[in-house]
Amino acid sequence: MSTSISERPTVVAPSVRRGSVKVLGLLTFALVLVGLLSLALGSRYIPLGTVIDVLFHDDGSEAATIVHALRIPRTVLAITVGIALGVAGALMQGHTRNPLADPGLLGVEAGATCAVVIAIYSFGIDELSGYAWFALAGAGIASIAVFAIGSTRRGPDPVSLVLAGAAVSALLLAVTQAIVVRDADTLDSYRFWVVGSASGRSLDVFWQVLPFVLVGLLFAAMSTPGLNLLQLGDDVAASLGLTPWRQKALGIAAVMLLAGAAVAACGPIAFVGLVVPHVARRLGGVDYRWLIPYSALLGGLLVTGADIIGRLIVSPAELQVGIVMALIGGPAFVILVRRTRMVRI
Amino acid sequence: MATLHATPLRLGGLSWLVPVRAALVSLVGAGVLFFLVAIDLAVGDFPIPVGDVVRTLFGGGDEGQRFVVMELRLPQTAVAVTVGASLGLAGALTQTLARNPLASPDILGVTDGAAFGAVLVIVVAGGSGYGGGLVSGQLQEIGLPIAAFIGALGTALLLYLLSWRRGLDMQRLVLVGIGLGATLTAATAYLLVNARIQDAASAQVWLSGSLSARGWEHGRPVLITLAVLVPLSLLLIRSLNAMLLGDDAARGLGVRLQLTQLGVLIAAVGLTSVAVAAVGPLEFVALVVPQVALRLCGASRPPILASMVAGAVLVVGADVITRAVLPFALPAGIVTAAVGAPYLIWLLVRANRRRTA
């Protein structure tokens, strides 16, 4: 008997997915490559060599004009929005401990949409940089309301937060639809904004949202280490020396800033924030210190890639990035979910 | 008493648990529902006193009143009641099965499938669409619910086939549903962006969910579905209660997991697709009503009966507001959200305050 105890059966440790600097480097490289491709491809193809030439020496040629006036703004925006949405999605799923949570659930998208529709309907605004301010304001107000409703004095409560987000979103969506259903002119502008697109924006929009994205990323970086402990539950996290409500407030504030900036820049691009963290978890495991940078890079890749595809498949016309992403990303996500084992959070 | 939401009832050798508070909530809800139905039947261009309406419903009333109440108004009210109950039940079932308050049938992509089917008919085959009036008028009116129904069922079938991999994992099912739903929503958005503005506008009305001008041809399928699927859902309650403890514990208690999951899914999908086909996507009802009922009953999972009653109350209430209170026509889906959302918000705020006090 005593020998059998010492001869314990060898336990094969399940292979744990972990992040690595190598994959991170590869993803960064891929993002740079896709960014360059985004400058080169379109209804008029510009060779990569020329792109790099005119990128640094604006010689006033046709290629230089196309690259600088049209393609740099949308590429920069697509990458920024993708990074913001990827990080926001990972934070959101971590803080609500719900794999179905996406940044839109905080009411950010519904708030921005409602504000834009009011801008179109009441103030007759019809330019994209005008929309951006309204979208930012709407996203901010809506998400603060959700935060207030979904929080106890001990900080945000995951289930309440998600339900509050759903309720506030539904309310704002009702207001939006009530306007849109009754006014065809507003519908006509709104239906193009609401699918989400990176095209037709100038660099001004980028500078408008950049501060919000940067502060959001800073908050995200600050709240990430604690996020791992929060997964063990508030009580355990508190006993390990964390202040749960402060961590959560920081994380949720990051989600608001990032998702709000994204929706202001490109309209509501659904699906990225929800799906990217699941893909990232498959590549890099559940440690949020890896998951957040993975999600950022994957988000950038996904949005930029979808934007390129949208330019190419119906050339010379264009398909909005939000539509492309879900039309191609949806089935791809289904295949991914089917083929690999579920990673639980 | 506050924590104990079920009281054991003993009768000789038999004993079972009676969820007192849930029963009470359902009873009060049924009373409110009856009151709202009476009001809904009373108001309109030809107002009838509520007392006369009740008398007419039970076989009294004069010829004119009977015609207005039974022929003109009852069908639409019946559609509102049955659709509300269906969506409430479907939401309660999926949320219990997935153990996730966000897992409404809408998130499984079923509603998106229905919307895609309907918008396809409006845009491609509509009078001013690509089909150039190929399908129009009467045919389109009949075709719309059928297209929505086919879209919903097709999506559900695809969802089941794609999520099946040596058994059904609820989390995989939900994720596949999200992927499918996103794809279909994008396809719908594509149709809307490329449609003529008239078609886009009428699609928008359908997408908001509307109760106006609904007759027995819309109500009958919902009624039949409810008659079949409510008993099925009630049969599944015991297994669902066990499954709240987790899949392994449920299996240990003798629950046939795959069979129960399939049953719940069939019920939820059937109820949702028929309801959506009748009135369009009232997306909000299935998500929020079970959570409201849960908070009213203080139960451990969304209550089945109370969710049905609460769903019916919400949708009929929205119909009353749409027809009697608002000065202009507004799709009922918008009104359900505008009424239901503040109520859920209030419940959440109250619960949070109590927890911190």
**Residue A285 and residue A18 in contact, taking contact as beta carbons nearer than 8 Å:** yes
Q: Which residues 253-292 of B have a C-beta within 8 angstroms of A? A: 283-284, 287-288, 291
Asked if the C-beta of B72 comes within 8 angstroms of chain A's C-beta atoms, the answer is no
Report how far residue B244's alpha carbon sits from residue B21's, in angstroms, rounded to the nearest whole number: 20
What is the structure's pLDDT at B134? 44
Number of domains present in the structure of chain A: 1
- Taking the C-alpha atoms of residue B27 and residue A21, their distance in angstroms, rounded to an integer, is 61
Judge whether A325 and A199 are in contact, CB under 8 Å.
no
CB proximity list for B233: less than 8 A, separation 6 or greater? B89, B93, B264, B267, B304
Give chain B positions within 8 Å (CB) of A92.
none
Contact call for A191 and B190, based on CB within 8 A: no
**Distance in angstroms (rounded) separating the CA atoms of residues A8 and B72:** 78
Taking contacts as CB-CB distances below 8 angstroms, the residues of chain A near B100 are 98, 100
Place of tokens 């749409």: B322
Using CB atoms, pick whichever of A99, A167, A278 lies closest to residue B341: A167
pLDDT at B108: 79
Beta-carbon separation of B185 and A278 below 8 A:
no
Supply the pLDDT for residue A80: 93
Tell whether the model's pLDDT for residue B128 goes beyond 50.
no
Q: Which residue has the higher pLDDT, B102 or B1?
A: B102
- Give the residue among A217, A204, A210, A222 at the shortest CA–CA distance from A297: A217
B163 interfacial to chain A (CB closer than 8 Å): yes
**B345–A167: do the CB atoms touch at under 8 Å?**
yes
CB B79 within 8 A of CB B211: yes
Does residue B168 sit at the A interface (CB-CB below 8 Å)?
Answer: no
CA of B21 vs chain A CAs: smallest distance (Å): 22
Report the CATH number that the domain containing residue B240 is assigned in CATH. 1.10.3470.10
Distances (CA, A) of B49 to A210, B60, B66, B316: 62, 13, 13, 18
Task: Kindly give the parts of chain A with pLDDT less than 50.
Answer: 1-6, 11-13, 345
What is the pLDDT, as a whole number, of residue A344? 52
- Contact status, residue A85 vs residue A262, Cβ threshold 8 Å: yes
CB proximity B226 to A under 8 Å? no
Q: Where are the beta strands (DSSP E) in A78-205?
A: 151-152, 155-156
| Per-residue model confidence (pLDDT) at position A279 | 86
Contacts of A187 in chain B (CB under 8 A): 197, 200-201, 204
> What are the tens digits of pLDDT across the range B112-127?
888 888 888 887 765 4
Confirm whether A3 is domain-assigned.
no
Tokens of A95: 């803080």
Select the residue of A162, A170, A177 nearest B341 (Cβ to Cβ): A170
Give me the pLDDT at residue A5, please: 47
| Contact between B344 and A195 using a beta-carbon 8 Å cutoff | no
Q: What span, in angstroms and rounded, lies between the C-alpha atoms of A124 and A103?
A: 29
Residue B4 located in a structural domain: no
Mean pLDDT (whole number) for B41-68 = 79
User: What proportion of chain B, given as a percentage, has pLDDT over 70?
Assistant: 92
Give tens-digit pLDDT for A185-222: 777 777 777 777 777 777 888 888 899 999 999 999 99
**For the whole model, what pTM was predicted?**
0.76
Interhelix angle A272-284/B170-194, nearest 10 degrees: 140
Maximum CA extent, chain A? 87
- Put simply, whether A183 touches B (Cβ < 8 Å) is no
CB proximity B99 to A under 8 Å? no
With respect to residue A66, please indicate whether it lies within any of the assigned structural domains: no
Tell whether A74 is covered by a domain.
no
pLDDT confidence of residue A4: 45
Q: For position B357, what pLDDT does the model report? A: 44
Taking an 8 Å cut-off on Cβ atoms, the answer to whether B171 and A342 are in contact is yes
**Is some CB atom of chain A closer than 8 A to the CB atom of B183?**
yes
Cβ-nearest to A181 among B102, B186, B208: B208
Q: Does B101 reach chain A within 8 Å, measured CB to CB?
A: yes
pLDDT band at B312 (very low <50, low <70, confident <90, very high): very high
Res B1: pLDDT: 36
The verdict on residue B10 lying in a domain is no
Contacts of A234-242 with C-beta under 8 Å, sequence gap 24+, read A234/A154, A234/A155
Question: Min CA distance, A89 vs chain B (Å)?
Answer: 15
- Domain annotation covers residue A44: yes
In Å, how far are A131, A206, A293, A302, B169 from A83, measured between CA atoms? 21, 13, 9, 9, 30
One-letter amino acid at B196 equals R
Q: What is the pLDDT of residue B5?
A: 58
Answer yes or no: is A14 within a domain: no
Report the C-alpha gap between B304 and B306 in whole angstroms: 6
Q: How many domains does chain B have?
A: 1
Structure tokens at B94: 């999926």
Position B270 in a domain: yes
Q: Give the domain extent around B160.
A: 20-356
Q: Is A69 exposed, middle or buried (0-12, 13-18, 19+ CB in 10 A)?
A: exposed
In a domain? residue B15 = no
ipTM entry? 0.71
Note whether B182 contacts A: Cβ–Cβ < 8 A: yes
Tokens linked to A266: 């490109």
How far the first Cα of chain A sits from its last, in Å, is 40
3-state secondary structure of A155: strand
Q: Chain B residues with CB inside 8 Å of A338's CB?
A: 162-163, 165, 172, 176
- Average pLDDT over chain B reads 80
Q: In chain B, which among 5-64 make CB contacts under 8 A with chain A?
A: none
Q: Would the CB atoms of B179 and A334 count as touching at under 8 Å?
A: yes
pLDDT at B88: 92
First-last CA distance in chain B: 20
Domain-embedded: residue B129: yes
3-class DSSP state of B8 = strand
* pLDDT value for B130: 42
* Cross-strand bridge partners of residue B164: B168
Q: Is B165 on the interface with A (CB under 8 A)?
A: yes
- Residue at B139 is within a domain: yes
Is B335 in contact with A180 (Cβ distance < 8 A)? Answer: no
A105 contact residues in B (CB cutoff 8 A): 102
How far, in Å, CA of A210 to CA of A223, rounded? 20
Predicted local confidence at residue A300, as pLDDT: 93
- The minimum CA-CA distance between A194 and chain B, rounded to whole Å, is 9
Average pLDDT for B158-182: 81
Structure confidence by residue, pLDDT tens digits, B244-292 = 887 788 888 888 888 888 888 888 888 888 888 888 888 778 888 888 8
| CATH classification of the domain holding A138 | 1.10.3470.10
Judge whether A131 lies within some domain: yes
Within-domain flag for A145: yes
In this structure, are residues B308 and B85 in contact, taking their beta carbons and an 8 Å threshold?
A: yes
User: Is the pLDDT at B129 greater than 50, yes or no?
Assistant: no
List chain B residues with CB under 8 Å of A164.
Answer: 345, 348
Domain carrying residue A331: 21-61+79-339
HSE-up of residue B194 (Cα within 13 Å, Cβ side): 18
Chain CA centroid to CA A155, Å: 24
Residue B177 near residue A334 (C-beta atoms within 8 A): no
Please identify which residue in the block is written with the tokens 């934070």.
A91
